[in-house]
Structures are given as C-alpha cells and as structure tokens.
Structure 1
C-alpha cells in the first residue's frame, strides 16, 4: 500500500513482518515485527502517520509509520482476517474476514481507532 503522499510503501507477507520502503529509491526504511502468522492486508492511515496490518494470526495491529513502534493490537475474531482499512478521516478502523467466497454476516467489524472501542453494526 502507498502512503497518502506517495513517498512510502508498506508490504507484508509470509515472513510475518511488515516492511516500509522508500517509494522513490526502493530502499527499506523499517521492518516491523509482531505478527505470528502470514500478513494478509496492510494500510496507511490517511495522514500517513500509522500503518494497520492483519492476517492469519487473528489480530489487527496498528504501528507508528515513522518509528515502527506497535501502538495497538486488537483481537476480536476467531479466524484469520483478510482485509484492514482506515476510514477516510482516520478515526475508524475496519476489518473483514471471508468464509469461502463471501463475507460472513459477523465478518465485518469497525472500531473507533482511539479509544479502541467496537462500533455497533449498522441498524443495531
């Protein structure tokens, strides 16, 4: 995923680490360690100051994009996660898990990013 200013990239994968890269030079800037299984999805916050990641270890992690420090871990699912995203204003964080080829009815969760509070599903 690109940072909002296009200057950095974040990647995650089978080695259970995230890497932040300089998008212009290809130089590795940071390696972030904390996941215990494959990382499936990464996203920059709209202000470029945070990175979110998720994967098969059933956690969502939020990191400081400058220091690489882990600032938050959420564990609300009982299976691996497929996608994570910040809201356009950066105040909320969403995660999705799939069951087969579709999203389960309980497969989408949204949190207020600070404080880490689960947001009720629409219509509840």
Structure 2
C-alpha cells in the first residue's frame, strides 16, 4: 500500500488480484491495473504523481499512467523478482533492483 506524493491516490495490491488505485478521500476505487496480474514486490510513484512503477515477482517492471491506467512501458531486464524501485527527484530516471543482483537505470525521456 502506498500514497502518491500529492496524496490524491492510494495504491493497493494483493497476490490474487490486479493493483488498484483509490481516491483516499472518498475510499472509492478509481482504476484497476489489470494488464498484468502477478505478485507486486515493489512500487514507486513519480514525484509529480503522474506515473506509477510496479516491480513484479516475475522480474518485470511496468510503468503505468495514473490518469488512465494505461501501461506505458514494460522492462524485462531482471531475471528474478524486483525488490526496489525509485524515481529521481525530477522524475526523469527510474531505477530498479532485484534478487538477481541487477540494478537498472532508465532515462524515461528516452522511452516515453
């Protein structure tokens, strides 16, 4: 479970359902991120709260648009579960680390 930096979204997840974004002020669901159902191991909102990075047990990282629930990118470099995700302060860089010992750095302006 995680709040977006601006406090307008709350992320929840479970082992057998898609990740869900909620409005914490009304306690109502806003979006279901259904393109991928797998155990979420790591989550990070971008500093501007527009993007959500999720790291999964299967080693993938997916980047989601918080406004409409579209999956913008999928990264498959990790060979084991993703354990950590972090955005740079300006939101342009996304880093991931996993149980495979890998650390990957992605410049998002080159991808999006």
Q: So what's the TM-score if we normalise by structure 2?
A: 0.88
Describe how 1:1-124 pairs up with structure 2 within 5 A. 1-98=2-99, 104=101, 107-116=102-111
Aligned length: 110
SS in 1 for 2:77: coil
Inter-partner Cα distance in structure 1 for 2:106 and 2:31: 26
Give unmatched runs, 5+ long, in structure 1. Answer: 117-124
Measured against aligned partners, the alpha-carbon deviations of 1:40-59 in whole angstroms (never above 9, x if no partner) come to: 11111111111110111211
Higher gyration radius (CA): 1
- Runs of 4+ aligned residues of structure 1 deviating over 3 Å after TM superposition are none
Q: So what's the TM-score if we normalise by structure 1?
A: 0.80
Kindly report the root-mean-square deviation, in angstroms, between the aligned alpha carbons of the 2 structures.
Answer: 1.5
